[in-house]
Amino acid sequence: MQAALLTIGDELLAGDTENTNASWLAAQLTSRGVTTKRVLVIPDEIDLIARKVREYSEAFDAVILTGGLGGTHDDVTMTAVARAFDRELVVDELARTDVEETLKGVRERLPDLDIDVDAHASIPAGGRPLLNQEGLAPGCVIGNVYVFPGIPREMKPMFASVVEEFSGTTRS
């Protein structure tokens, strides 16, 4: 199995945030017999992300993205992945329920918090949601593309939920 890693965020390129996700994921994949063939850091640009997702999805057995999930203006990864596969973003009901449940606990501490639940719970149509045990925005799997949050404490348990899907064997 050959994989490509896309880490997304202007903050990574500016050096404001250290890219620990790429090295951690590469080590996890290597320990499972997967060869990481590409690691690419790209800015929060929808067209560029979509182009690279499409290109890498065709070239590699698995593509892993981290970063840019949520409902803020610079969280464009889900939109880009949807565009890469010519899909619409849709509210996933399982993800919506999870976001609402997470917000119940947060609202006790932050009663004025204004969160667009539907924006956070949207994934590309036909994608499989990956619930976020440590945060708010879900990830997803669409085809051979895995989308995870950029925050390491959220990304690591989400990756653990699908780790069995990665092994040293190749697709036929």
- The predicted model scores a pTM of 0.93
Q: Are β-strands 2-8 and 62-66 bridged in parallel, bridged antiparallel, or unpaired?
A: parallel
DSSP annotation string for 78-119: HHHHHHHTT--EEE-HHHHHHHHHHHHHHHHH-TT----HHH
Question: For the chain, how far is it from start to end, CA to CA, in angstroms?
Answer: 10
All domains of the chain in start order, with CATH: 2-165 (3.40.980.10)
The rounded distance, in Å, linking the Cα atoms of 48 and 80 is 8
Residue 73: pLDDT over 90: no
Bigger pLDDT: 127 or 68?
127
What is the overall mean pLDDT for the chain?
93
Give me the pLDDT at residue 107, please: 77
